[in-house]
Amino acid sequence: MRYAPAILAGRAVRFLARLRKPGGGSAVPGLVVNRIAPGFLPDTLNAFPRGLVIVSGSSGKSTTTKMLVGILRAHGVSVFTNPSTANISQGLTSALLERADLRGRIDAELGVLEMDEGHGALIAPRLAPAHVILTNVSVDQIDRFHDAAMVARMLDAIAARSSTSLVLNGDDALVDAVAPGSDATRWRYGVSTAVLGASARGLGYSTTSSDRVDPGSGTVVEALDGDLVSITHRGETVRFRLPARGVHYAVDAAAALSGAAAILGPEFQLATAAESFRALTPVFGRGEVTTVRGVEVEFVLVQNPASFQLNVDSLAADTEQILVAVGSDVRDPSYLWPVDTSRLGRVALVSGSKAWEAALQLGYDGVEIDRIEPDLGSALDAFLALPAPAHGRKTVIFTADSMRRTRAHLGLASNDQDDA
């Protein structure tokens, strides 16, 4: 019961924060608890009966985590997980407060946590994960992560803590090389030569390996047609539909399948895992399609040049009505200039605090722009009011800051994985 005072204080702060700003203030309770009881976070995370699973990397953490949780629950495992917006220390603590009893314990067999690579590396020495799943290393948030080698060192620090298994992207040379001295069993996933060859600009990794993962011993994306994927796991092949189209989502699915196999051992059934995708919905903004004001809209989050390029390349060919919103999270818009946006062809609106800079990039790529409206709320209202497109659906492409503002303006609830 030593954490009871801190937990009660955190819950009181959460209550007050929500009174002040409904739906907001999610990190504040975590900040308070971490200050009062710095041992609460690691002690709670290390207490799950079947262990702790950490998912980290530059991109794909949220989707991989949600897929993995769905597979584990389909196998009858009770899982605690965090929303994708709560992947740093204070956010993780706030998520724990939602479920922890006054002893700091959570009624779940297994903890599956998405972790920001920077914050994860900082708290890694106090954690004892049974399994670590790493997605990739790409150029990301250059104000925080100066180069790929820096991110690789952070992931290495997290991976080195795993006691049982390391689930690694075999196509990413930096990820595949982490924790060389670890005694944990290494599980590898990746794509086939055919899938890699079909991706004209590669997979977006800082360093792509020249060797492909063996489908006889690993997990491999063999073929992809829109959202229909064929994956082979240790010689057995399944086909199923992804929650969103794109090779990056197929790779996330392979990571989740490989991770579930590592965690469940003999309990793992590939057919059960594939079937779990039927009920899976995208993480908010990651290719999610929803109805807003009677209009069907697809929301596409881009977090770095690699994800921006992959998402542009995977847009449906008949997409003809697009809003692009680049917000304050992109401190230096030149960060996104390596992306070839020419495939967008025509954009209805460009918005966000970096609207003019984004429009300049689109213009240089030959993209026609109907209107530039820096005020995101006004842009969204105007976009939704446009007549329905003759082909495809209305599509919003946004960075993280614009995603949050879009959600607030439109009153959209997150469908991120819950912690039930």
Cα torsion 293, 298, 303, 304: sign: negative
pLDDT digits (tens, 9 = 90+) for 175-196: 999 999 999 999 999 999 999 9
Q: Which of 9-13, 21-25, 301-305 has the highest mean pLDDT?
A: 301-305
Q: What is the pLDDT of residue 21?
A: 64
372 in the Ramachandran plot: left (φ > 0), alpha (ψ -120 to 50) or beta? beta
Q: What is the pLDDT of residue 82?
A: 84
Tokens 């794509």 label which residue? 191
Lowest mean pLDDT among 12-21, 202-211, 286-295: 12-21
Check whether 86 has a pLDDT greater than 70.
Answer: no
Question: How large is the average pLDDT for residues 214-233?
Answer: 96
What fold does the segment set 286-410 form as a domain?
Protein-Tyrosine Phosphatase; Chain A (3.90.190)
Question: How large is the average pLDDT for residues 287-292?
Answer: 86
Q: What is the pLDDT of residue 418?
A: 47
Domain boundaries, the chain: 51-81+111-279, 286-410
| Number of Cβ within a 10 Å radius of residue 211 | 10
**Percentage of the residues of the chain whose pLDDT score is greater than 70:** 93
Tokens 């709670």 label which residue? 44
Q: What is the pLDDT of residue 16?
A: 80
Contact call for residues 82 and 108 (beta carbons, < 8 A): no
Question: How large is the average pLDDT for residues 27-42?
Answer: 81
Nearest 5 degrees, angle CA 108-CA 114-CA 120? 110
170/160 Cα distance (integer angstroms): 17
What tokens does 379 get?
């842009």
Contact call for residues 20 and 101 (beta carbons, < 8 A): no
96/7 Cα distance (integer angstroms): 10
- Between 91 and 324, the more confident residue is 324
pLDDT digits (tens, 9 = 90+) for 113-162: 999 888 888 889 999 999 999 999 986 555 555 678 888 999 999 999 99
Question: How large is the average pLDDT for residues 249-258?
Answer: 97
Q: What is the pTM of this model?
A: 0.84
Question: How large is the average pLDDT for residues 382-390?
Answer: 93
Lowest mean pLDDT among 216-230, 283-297, 330-344: 283-297
Q: What is the pLDDT of residue 359?
A: 96
Q: Do domains 51-81+111-279 and 286-410 have the same CATH topology?
A: no
Averaged pLDDT of the chain: 89
Tokens 């390391």 label which residue? 166
Contact call for residues 223 and 229 (beta carbons, < 8 A): yes
C-alpha distances in angstroms, 344 versus 303, 326, 338? 18, 15, 15
298/276 Cα distance (integer angstroms): 23
Check whether 25 has a pLDDT greater than 60.
Answer: no
Query: Helix 247-264 vs helix 61-74: angle between axes, to the nearest 10 degrees?
Result: 40
Contact call for residues 114 and 65 (beta carbons, < 8 A): yes
CA nearest neighbour of 333 among 312, 359, 313, 315 = 359
**What's the pLDDT band for 398 if we cut at 50, 70, 90?**
very high
- Between 289 and 140, the more confident residue is 289
Tell me whether residue 294 is exposed, middle or buried, using C-beta atoms within 10 angstroms of its C-beta: 0 to 12, 13 to 18, 19 or more. Answer: exposed
Distance of CA 185 to the CA centre of its chain: 24
Query: Helix 28-36 vs helix 89-97: angle between axes, to the nearest 10 degrees?
Result: 90
- Between 364 and 316, the more confident residue is 364
Q: Which of 13-17, 135-139, 394-398 has the highest mean pLDDT?
A: 394-398
pLDDT digits (tens, 9 = 90+) for 335-352: 889 899 999 999 999 999
What fold does the segment set 51-81+111-279 form as a domain?
UDP-N-acetylmuramoyl-L-alanine:D-glutamate ligase (3.40.1190)
192/206 Cα distance (integer angstroms): 19
Check whether 420 has a pLDDT greater than 50.
Answer: no
In the 8-state DSSP scheme, what is residue 236?
E
218/231 Cα distance (integer angstroms): 10
150/343 Cα distance (integer angstroms): 32
